[in-house]
Structure 1
Amino acid sequence: MTASLGTNQLRTLTTVMDATALGDHRAGSPADLLVSDVFCWLRRGEGLLGYGEIANYSGTGGERFATAEQWWKSLLADALVVDSINSPGTGPMAFGSFAFSKTSAHRSILVVPAVVVGFSAGTVWITQLTVDGTSPTVESAHAALCAFLAVDHELLELPAEGTTAAAASRGTLTTGALTEEQWKESVTAGVHAIEGGGLDKVVLARDVVATFEEPVHRVSILQRLVQLYGECWTYGVRGLVGATPEILIKVDGTTAQARVLAGTLDREDEPEGSVDFATTVLGGSTKQRQEHDFAVRSLVRQLAPFATDLSFPPEPFILELPNVWHLASDVTAVLADTDGHLPTSLSLVEALHPTAAVCGTPREDAGKLILELEKMDRGPYAGPVGWLDGAGNGEWGIALRGAVLESPKTVRLYAGAGIVEASDPSAELAETWAKFRPMLQALGLRT
């Protein structure tokens, strides 16, 4: 574990945002305030944007969640907090990204930003956080935000409908750890392992690498994802960017929610009357329903020890996204109070990750097979990404439909598919291309 922190205590001030204090910088929507290095968590015009870094944790291994939470609690222990709003995401908060596997060399992180702007239910707020001994004020918070925005004054304009975000930066795609044929062989091996008994489902991922002639503009990627995938949670934590449709856990006071996705249908060649078509093909598919049922039952089983009440619908619904249809189920839990304490969002992340939707079931067996068949380190792909605050609230998605900006001109994209006994390798390969589509569109490589 490594940690960076100033020598003084954490101090935060949260107040309603005064858009007029931003001068030339607009604040009508979150998209107005996207800049190159912003920490991002946005959906339907609501969420959080973070600027700068004043403290951070990083670590690897099986204890990465526990050590991150220990670091966060130590930072909060003597914090001075002024918060006139007292809502989830106000006051002390941090953005985070965690590696999928405990064996990964990729470092999991929590980062405390210098300034946060939040959007929720028509309210816009600003939080300034310091560890240098200074006490934030309303004036200093707005001045700090303006300073971060001024550095990125020449923002890339959002591309018009029908154009690509990175059209000026031509790129090429190459295979990653496995070629398409090698990956299909891995899918076949996964099916054989399931047929052998003891394993119900395994999720196998693959990677492709995009290389560009000119540097990639991170802000244009986020802008494009917000524009095209507003129903998803657009995330940006350092080099990790994407738009996930799946929430691992959201904690708001005594309530926790999760969205489980498993079962996918590509929309690229959808016929007329597509809603009925998706309902028939997904809802009527034994393979797709089995895959979804495994994922829901797995999450409910892991969440149950932390809840006094759990509810989820008997039938999944069809989630419509621009690239695919999904079978989806929303799970809601009333959190159990243990000795006067509710579980925090990060403690629930540790208990739930990895779900059957991104690993398989049984979890341990599926995880071992993933390491054997994928031939790559997933890094942060399919790991938890999101934020937490000082009250235990937080929103953590699963880092899907995303990519890692490995260098100014190189981006590694990831996508996976749930493998069950009835899986067909060619169909599963096609599913990964459907799931690559959001990032390919954001990079201007495919419309």
Structure 2
Amino acid sequence: MTASLGTTSLRTLTLALDPATLAELGVSGPAHLLGAASTDDPMCWLRRGQGLLGFGEITTFSARGPERFADAESWWRELLGEARIEDSVRMPGTGPMAFGSFAFSKKSTFNSVLIVPALVVGFADGAAWLTQLSIDGTVPTAESALDLFRETAAGALSPSISSPLSSAASEECSMPSEVSAGTVRSGALTEEQWMQSVSAGVQAIAGGGLEKVVLARDVVATFPEPLQRVSILQRLVDLYDECWTYGVRGLVGATPEILIKVEGSMAQARVLAGTLDREDEPAGSSGFADAVLGGSAKQRQEHDFAVRSLTRQLAPFATDLSFPPEPFILELPNVWHLASDVTAELASSNGHLPSSLALVAALHPTAAVCGTPREDAGELILELEKMDRGPYAGPVGWLDGAGNGEWGIALRGAVLEDAHNVRLYAGAGIVQASDPAAELAETWAKLRPMLQALGLPNHP
């Protein structure tokens, strides 16, 4: 475990942003502000024109291993212990907050991180706000916070809040607006090798004890010209507005699945399992997804495993837990999913509600990204995938000082390994009825959002 700390306590100042100030700077919403900050490496959590953007890093936490969540929670509590907070807005995401990304596996070599930004700009329910944070003795004021916001909106962040990638980003070229000259190659496994792993997974399930295993694969996209991370995020926001577009350092993506969202005493989750490629839809057909996806015993079984997994892990933290008896069809630009929204009233323990990060630790990994039983599925994943998932399928999102937070599962995403190479990931839920070729096709459908954001064709 490593942590970067300043010399004094954390200070935060949150101010409401009035429409006149936004209009003066020409900021129509978070997507516009994301584009204005193209010289920096903004952290991002956006959906339907709402969410949070973070700029700069004033302190960070990183860890690996099975205690990464507990260590992060301890670090965050310690940071909050002596924090000096001024917050006139008092909404989820105001005051002290951090963006985070955690490795899927406790055996991963990837560093899980919490990052406290220097500036946060938030948009929710018609309101907008900004928070300036410091840990070097600087006392945020209304004037300094607004000045920092104006610099950000103008696309010229001050050096004092630049991120480790900002100098590289300033030298990067914009992504091509249409088809890029990039190439795609197999990652850890070729298509044939991965289908063999799927067959091995089916055999393991048929042998008894294992109900479902989620197997992922990676591909690597390489470009002759340097990529610009912000352009990738902009495309994802534009194309996949129904999803949560996330960006934490080199990890980018647009996930349709929420592991847990906490606002006060209420928690919510969106469970996805069961997928149908929208390219398979016949022209002029209505009710296609309901008939093919909703009527599939294999897909319904996979979805049921995922819902039962999440509710079983969430139940000890709740006084009331509810989810619909039947899943609904979630329509996205690339696929349909079977989806179920789970809600819970959180239970208090010793006068305290569990934080969003504590719930993340309890819920991850769900059957939707691992399998059932999850310990057995996790071991088989390490054996069959032949790769380290890193942050793929791990929790990504944010938390604040009041315990609120939104944590998605890092799906439909990629890791920018350097200026020219991007590693993309996608997986499929394997049950006894799975067909390797069909599961391979499903991974290509799930890779489509990132391939589109990179200007690449869906299938090489």
* Normalised TM-score (structure 2): 0.93
Is 1:193 the counterpart of 2:204 in the alignment? Answer: yes
2:69 corresponds in structure 1 to 65
Query: For the residues of structure 1 that align with 2:348 and 2:2, how far apart are their CA atoms?
Result: 32
Query: For the residues of structure 1 that align with 2:230 and 2:425, how far apart are their CA atoms?
Result: 20
Task: Call closer, same or farther: CA 1:213–1:168 in 2, change over 3 Å.
Answer: farther
Partner SS, residue 416 of structure 2: strand
Task: Call closer, same or farther: CA 1:127–1:262 in 2, change over 3 Å.
Answer: same
Match of 1:401 among 405, 412, 423: 412
Q: How does 1:122-161 map to 2 (within 5 A)?
A: 122-151=126-155
The letter of the residue matching 1:146 is R
Partner SS, residue 111 of structure 1: strand
1:130/1:136 contact within 8 Å kept: yes
Task: Call closer, same or farther: CA 1:122–1:165 in 2, change over 3 Å.
Answer: farther
The letter of the residue matching 1:40 is C
Q: What's the CA shift string for 1:65-119, capped at 9, x where partnerless?
A: 0000100000000111110111100000000000000000000000000000000
Match of 2:252 among 220, 224, 241: 241
2:180/2:456 contact within 8 Å kept: no
Is 1:82 the counterpart of 2:86 in the alignment? Answer: yes
Is 1:15 the counterpart of 2:26 in the alignment? Answer: no
Query: For the residues of structure 1 that align with 2:6 and 2:299, how far apart are their CA atoms?
Result: 50
2:22/2:28 contact within 8 Å kept: no
Task: Call closer, same or farther: CA 1:99–1:426 in 2, change over 3 Å.
Answer: same
Task: Call closer, same or farther: CA 1:233–1:169 in 2, change over 3 Å.
Answer: same
1:191/1:419 contact within 8 Å kept: yes
**Structure 1 residue ranges without an equivalent (≥5):** none
Query: For the residues of structure 2 that align with 1:152 and 1:130, how far apart are their CA atoms?
Result: 19
1:404/1:411 contact within 8 Å kept: yes
Alpha-carbon deviation of 1:148? 3.5
1:96/1:237 contact within 8 Å kept: yes
Q: Which runs of 4+ in 1 moved over 6 A?
A: none
Alpha-carbon deviation of 1:345? 0.2
Partner SS, residue 260 of structure 1: strand
Match of 1:205 among 216, 222, 229: 216
Q: Which moved more, 1:138-147 or 1:113-122?
A: 138-147
* Normalised TM-score (structure 1): 0.96
2:164 corresponds in structure 1 to none
Query: For the residues of structure 2 that align with 1:406 and 1:4, how far apart are their CA atoms?
Result: 23
Query: For the residues of structure 1 that align with 2:279 and 2:33, how far apart are their CA atoms?
Result: 32
Q: What's the CA shift string for 1:282-315, capped at 9, x where partnerless?
A: 1110000000000000000000000000000000
Q: Give the aligned length.
A: 441
Alpha-carbon deviation of 1:23? 8.6
Alpha-carbon deviation of 1:15? 0.9
Alpha-carbon deviation of 1:204? 0.1
2:163 corresponds in structure 1 to none
Partner SS, residue 219 of structure 2: strand
Q: Which moved more, 1:136-145 or 1:76-85?
A: 136-145
The letter of the residue matching 1:244 is T
Q: How does 1:31-430 map to 2 (within 5 A)?
A: 31-34=31-34, 35-36=37-38, 37-151=41-155, 166-167=177-178, 169-272=180-283, 274=285, 276-430=287-441
2:179/2:456 contact within 8 Å kept: no
Partner SS, residue 96 of structure 1: strand
Task: Call closer, same or farther: CA 1:286–1:415 in 2, change over 3 Å.
Answer: same
1:12/1:129 contact within 8 Å kept: yes
Partner SS, residue 407 of structure 1: coil
2:30 corresponds in structure 1 to 30
Task: Call closer, same or farther: CA 1:294–1:23 in 2, change over 3 Å.
Answer: closer
1:166/1:216 contact within 8 Å kept: no
Task: Call closer, same or farther: CA 1:60–1:274 in 2, change over 3 Å.
Answer: farther
Query: For the residues of structure 2 that align with 1:17 and 1:328, how far apart are their CA atoms?
Result: 35
Alpha-carbon deviation of 1:141? 0.8
Query: For the residues of structure 2 that align with 1:414 and 1:433, how far apart are their CA atoms?
Result: 10
State the percentage of identical aligned residues: 74
Partner SS, residue 221 of structure 2: strand
Alpha-carbon deviation of 1:422? 0.1
1:279/1:318 contact within 8 Å kept: yes
Query: For the residues of structure 2 that align with 1:275 and 1:437, how far apart are their CA atoms?
Result: 23
The letter of the residue matching 2:219 is V
**Structure 2 residue ranges without an equivalent (≥5):** 158-168
Is 1:434 the counterpart of 2:445 in the alignment? Answer: yes
The letter of the residue matching 1:31 is A
1:21/1:142 contact within 8 Å kept: no
Query: For the residues of structure 1 that align with 2:19 and 2:54, how far apart are their CA atoms?
Result: 16
Query: For the residues of structure 1 that align with 2:69 and 2:153, how far apart are their CA atoms?
Result: 32
